[in-house]
């Protein structure tokens, strides 16, 4: 008897959801398979139909995020305005924010974050018609690290800070710089 695809998809999703709930509370080295299967409501043997171990879940989830990110990149067109691009990135982050936020906060895999940065770099060069130099790389690293951390912070407080407010602040930081933005916040002009 063959499994129904929708049950297989749901089972895998339930197991990964249980993993992320536990990962949110504890270090990956302290998570065990029984905790995941108990939380998801499955027998331990079911786990091994989808994953080889705890680290395999994380590996597959990162692979899934990267795959989604590559698909997402196809929606970005270099001729779009910065605001349009930022809204697309915000939507992607909003959809995948919990997993991205946990990966960024845990610091467990800098390769994962570096992959995101590396994939966006050619777009950055193309969008602003820049040469690939050390100066450009430094500017990019400064900007992308700030943006990634800002998106992470925004995701965690999204109920208190709308995407429009976030975009306005990011735009101000990029256009006016940190110190002028701070001055505007102090004088309640932002």
**Is the Cβ–Cβ distance between 40 and 15 less than 8 Å?**
yes
Residue 186's CB is within 10 A of a number of other CB atoms, namely 9
| 100 shares a domain with 6 | no
Gap between the Cα atoms of 167 and 125, Å rounded: 21
Terminal CA-CA length for the chain: 62
Q: Last residue of some domain: 51, 69, 93?
A: 51
| 112 shares a domain with 92 | yes
| 75 shares a domain with 42 | no
Residue 151's CB is within 10 A of a number of other CB atoms, namely 22
Q: Tokens standing for 182?
A: 């701070």
Q: Last residue of some domain: 12, 27, 51?
A: 51
Gap between the Cα atoms of 116 and 144, Å rounded: 10
| 91 shares a domain with 31 | no
SS3 assignment for the chain? CCCCHHHHHHHHHHHHHHHHHHHHHCCHHHCCHHHHHHHHCCCHHHHCCCCCCHHHHHHHHHHHHHHHHHHHHCCCCCCCCHHHHHHHHHHHHHHHHHHHHHHHHHCCCHHHHHHHHHHHHHHHHHHCCCCCCHHHHHHHHHHHHHHHHHHHHHHHCHHHCCHHHHHHHHHHHHHHCHHHHHHHHHCCCC
| 78 shares a domain with 22 | no
**Is the Cβ–Cβ distance between 19 and 57 less than 8 Å?**
yes
pLDDT on residue 109 = 62
| 100 shares a domain with 70 | yes
| 84 shares a domain with 172 | yes
| 103 shares a domain with 65 | yes
Domain span at residue 1? 1-51
Gap between the Cα atoms of 165 and 184, Å rounded: 14
What is the chain's pLDDT, residue by residue, as a tens digit (190 residues)?
455 666 789 999 999 999 999 999 998 999 999 999 999 999 999 999 999 999 999 999 988 988 888 888 788 776 778 778 878 888 888 888 888 888 887 665 677 788 778 888 888 888 788 999 999 999 999 998 898 888 888 888 876 788 888 888 988 898 888 898 888 888 887 6
| 80 shares a domain with 149 | yes
| 84 shares a domain with 44 | no
Q: How many domains does the chain have?
A: 2
| 73 shares a domain with 44 | no
Rounded to two decimals, the pTM is: 0.76
pLDDT on residue 6 = 65
CATH number, domain of 12, equals 1.10.10
Q: Tokens standing for 190?
A: 């932002």
| 135 shares a domain with 114 | yes
């Amino acid at each position: 008897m063959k499994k129904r695809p929708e049950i297989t998809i749901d089972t895998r999703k339930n197991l990964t959801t249980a993993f992320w709930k536990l990962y949110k509370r504890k270090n990956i080295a302290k998570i065990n398979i029984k905790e995941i299967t108990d939380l998801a409501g499955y027998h331990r043997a079911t786990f091994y139909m989808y994953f080889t171990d705890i680290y395999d879940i994380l590996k597959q989830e990162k692979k899934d995020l990267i795959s989604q990110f590559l698909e997402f990149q196809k929606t970005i067109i270099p001729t779009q305005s910065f605001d349009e691009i930022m809204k697309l990135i915000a939507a992607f982050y909003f959809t995948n924010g919990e997993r991205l936020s946990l990966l960024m906060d845990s610091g467990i895999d800098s390769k994962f974050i570096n992959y995101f940065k590396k994939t966006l770099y050619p777009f950055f060069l193309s969008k602003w018609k820049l040469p690939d130099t050390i100066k450009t790389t430094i500017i990019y690293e400064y900007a992308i690290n700030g943006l990634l951390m800002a998106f992470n912070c925004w995701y965690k407080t999204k109920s208190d800070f709308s995407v429009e407010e976030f975009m306005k602040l990011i735009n101000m930081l990029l256009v006016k710089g940190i110190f002028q933005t701070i001055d505007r916040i102090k004088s309640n002009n932002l």
